[in-house]
Structure 1
């Protein structure tokens, strides 16, 4: 299973241009604002999970954040981000891994995940993901998750996903994380379609 997942994403990132994928955003404004709302120090450890070649890292670097981590299952995606960032990449630690089997000696202050969490469709995977967040974050860490809402698509990049409501998010994270903020938002894809997302900002209890 793991290898087919890897192959799927390597194919996506080696055959499609950055603006040919539905999650493309030149200015990921919502994610930027949610990270800023965490009010963490500029050298806080911030990890972008399944960030691919997303522009969040570029924008955070421009805002002066200096301790950034980018995790993606696809090496091609990571290479693309490195190339684009050029010299600025020295403030970023790149990690090729899937988010379930990722183990780190670092503890992160902000865990950000837009459009990666919803690919987990099995109860045990979702539970493992949550436990991974708990293990790999600091005491009062911030958890920001953007995922397809119940008004969003049922598939992404040809794969089935799990849709979420506030209640469903709370059922997963509510016991270990305090909900700060939650809202839905329409994302316009490069193909002029609309995807409805739910964004939740949690603080670790």
Structure 2
């Protein structure tokens, strides 16, 4: 299963340009605002999970953040991001891994995930993900999560996904995290369609 996932995403990032995928945003305003609302220092460790070659890191650098981590399962995605960010390599650590298996000595002030978590459709994987978030976040660290809502798509990039409501997210994270903010939002894709997301900002208890 893992090899199939890797092959799928390597193919996506080998064959499609940044603006040829549904999740493209040249300026991911919601993610930026939620990260800013965490009120962490500009040198705080912030990790973007499953970020691919998205432009979140570029925008955070422009805002003065200097200790950024970009994780993606696709080496092609990471290489594209590295090339684009070649003048800022001192501010970004690039990690080729999935969100379940990577382990680092570093702990983070902010864990950001937009449109990666919903690809986990197995309960065991969801719990493993949560465990990794808990291990990876500092005390009082922030989990910023954007995922498809119950009004959103049932598939993405040809893959099954899990739709979420605030109640479903609370059932997973509520015991260990305090919910600070949650709302739904329509994302306009490059193909003139919309996708309904739910965004939640959690604080680790």
- In the alignment, the residues of structure 2 paired with residue 175 and residue 77 of structure 1 have an alpha-carbon distance, to the nearest angstrom, of 34
**Is residue 2:174 matched to residue 1:168?**
no
Secondary structure at the residue paired with 2:187? strand
- In the TM superposition, residue 89 of structure 1 has moved relative to its aligned partner by 2.3
Aligned to 1:14: 14
Paired residue secondary structure (1:169): helix
Check if 1:40 corresponds to 2:37: no
Match of 1:88 in 2: 88
RMSD value, Cα: 0.5
Aligned match of 1:29:
29
SS at match of 2:64: coil
Does the alignment pair 1:70 with 2:70?
Answer: yes
1:85 offset after TM fit, Å? 1.1
Measured in 2, the distance between the counterparts of 1:179 and 1:133 equals 15
1:86 is displaced (CA, Å) by 1.7
1:14-49 Cα shifts (integer Å, max 9, x gaps): 000110000000000000000000000000000000
Structure 1: gaps (5+ residues): none
Q: What SS class does the counterpart of residue 169 from structure 2 fall into? A: helix
1:2 Cα shift? 0.9
Q: In the comparison of the two structures, how many residue pairs are matched?
A: 205
Alignment of 1:121-160 (within 5 A): 121-160=121-160
**Runs of 4+ in structure 1 displaced over 6 angstroms?**
none
